[in-house]
Amino acid sequence: MIAVVGLGFVGLTTALGLAKQTGRLVYAYDSNDSLREQLCRGEVPFHEPELGAALLELLGSGLIIGETLEAAVRHADIVFYCVGTPSRPDGGANLDALTAAIVETLPLLKEGGRRTLVIKSTVPPMTTTGVVKPLLESSGHIVGDTVGLAHNPEFLREGRAWQDFIHPDRIVIGACDKLSEEQLKRLYEPFGAPMQGVSPATAEFAKLASNALLATMISFSNELAELAEVTPEIDIPQAFRLLHADGRWQGGGMAGYVYPGCGFGGYCLPKDALSLQHYSREIGRESALIGEVLAVNARAKLAFAKRVAAAAGSHGRLAVLGLAFKPGSDDVRGTPAADIIAHLLELGLTDIVAYDPLAMPRFREAYDFPIRYAGTLREALDGRDSAALVTAWPEFSCQQELLERVKVIDGRYGLGKREAARV
């Protein structure tokens, strides 16, 4: 059997995906009592397509929500850790929740035979062998003998997590011992994806590098768009569509990251770029490129806010359209909208109404801004002079007739109108 510790975005997808594809019973646990209660009722507490249906299908049969960590781990031969590793103030990863979960597991490993512990949380290089392995050894375990240990990174996109897990383009297994690698390869056989066995540090680094690359592509696009803004004859959306026409971009969806906007956000890209930058400092090889990726991202949000303020005027009545960090999600962690609204308030715009089709409840809970919220796009635009498009929800491009009433500052270059994108 399998245990999954931590039932957020990654953990719940992992637990359900493993139950669905392998046919094995998965015991899942989270320290958050209310989260466990919601899941036991068949409710997914965040928006992620297809997870709700999978939970209703598998709950009580393929997936068991454990009341305690002991109940989840007791009969498992593989234990996946999917707890959060948020950024510390210095940019490094906070491993407290991960190490606490492992320490809590240690007494439970004394019975029931050999278990393999798998770190799925995103962590800096050398965490598995430099932090987790010593924890296990300090309790009397021998990694590779009495306990197995591996890092198995996830490559999930919010809004497509279920499909990304069920149909992965690669599975990376960074095992500390051969037996753990073979055990995980057998587990993942039903997925039919290429599997690569690497060192734990390589697996850890590959995940950070993946998100840092995506962040770099976005900042590259935003910096080029900033240059193009100086020359009115350049049609920015068209120029980037011409880049995408290069056949080398086709088929993988990567071109979507090479397109300008008003900054990247979310939980993973900013956190992992910061973590990689912190790691580069720690080893004495500070990455100027990653530092500039983060700096360009900060500049993009401020530059967009200044463009909005200039178009709206200090007494303008403004609508902010989009609060989630990306369309198709209700996640507002690290969302560009928060920084942009903060900049707008600093720039003197006080009459702001915000609207998002999905993320308003989470945004209001997470950010204490002196703004109002609208229930529909029409309501958000009612009585407004201008609108700042921050998140590229399809609803906005499908209702352009409503947007024609106001001056639109398009932060995502997505409305298909040159005059809107250039305001």
Provide mean pLDDT across the span 73-84.
Answer: 94
- The answer on pLDDT for 294 being more than 50 is yes
- The answer on pLDDT for 421 being more than 50 is no
92-125 pLDDT tens trace: 999 999 999 999 999 988 777 899 999 999 999 9
Provide mean pLDDT across the span 390-406.
Answer: 92
Q: pLDDT value at position 246?
A: 87
The catalytically annotated residue of 40, 176, 268, 398 is: 268
Domains along the sequence of the chain with CATH: 2-207 (3.40.50.720), 260-422 (3.40.50.720)
231's CB contacts (< 8 A; 6+ apart) are none
Distance between CA atoms of residues 278 and 286, nearest Å: 8
Are 18 and 165 within 8 A, CB to CB?
Answer: no
- The answer on pLDDT for 419 being more than 50 is no
What is the pLDDT confidence band of residue 417, given thresholds at 50, 70 and 90? Answer: very low
Q: pLDDT value at position 420?
A: 38
Q: pLDDT value at position 416?
A: 58
- The answer on pLDDT for 422 being more than 60 is no
User: What's the chain's Rg over C-alpha atoms?
Assistant: 23
21-53 pLDDT tens trace: 999 999 999 999 999 999 999 999 999 999 999
Are 83 and 3 within 8 A, CB to CB?
Answer: no
Q: pLDDT value at position 423?
A: 32
The mean predicted confidence, pLDDT, of the chain is 93
What is the pLDDT confidence band of residue 418, given thresholds at 50, 70 and 90? Answer: very low
400's CB contacts (< 8 A; 6+ apart) are 415, 416, 417
CB neighbourhood size of 167 (10 A): 12
Are 15 and 25 within 8 A, CB to CB?
Answer: no
Query: Which of the residue ranges 13-27, 61-75, 101-115 would you say has the lowest mean pLDDT?
Result: 101-115
**Percent of the chain, pLDDT > 70?**
97
Relative to beta strand 407-410, strand 386-389 is: parallel
- For residue 288, count CB atoms less than 10 angstroms from its CB and return exposed for 0-12, middle for 13-18, buried for 19 or more: exposed
Are 117 and 104 within 8 A, CB to CB?
Answer: no
Q: Is residue 268 among the annotated active site residues? A: yes
Distance between CA atoms of residues 419 and 423, nearest Å: 6
Structural tokens at position 352: 């702001």
338-392 pLDDT tens trace: 999 999 999 999 999 999 999 999 999 999 999 999 999 999 999 999 999 999 9
Provide mean pLDDT across the span 168-187.
Answer: 97
Three-class DSSP category at 126: coil
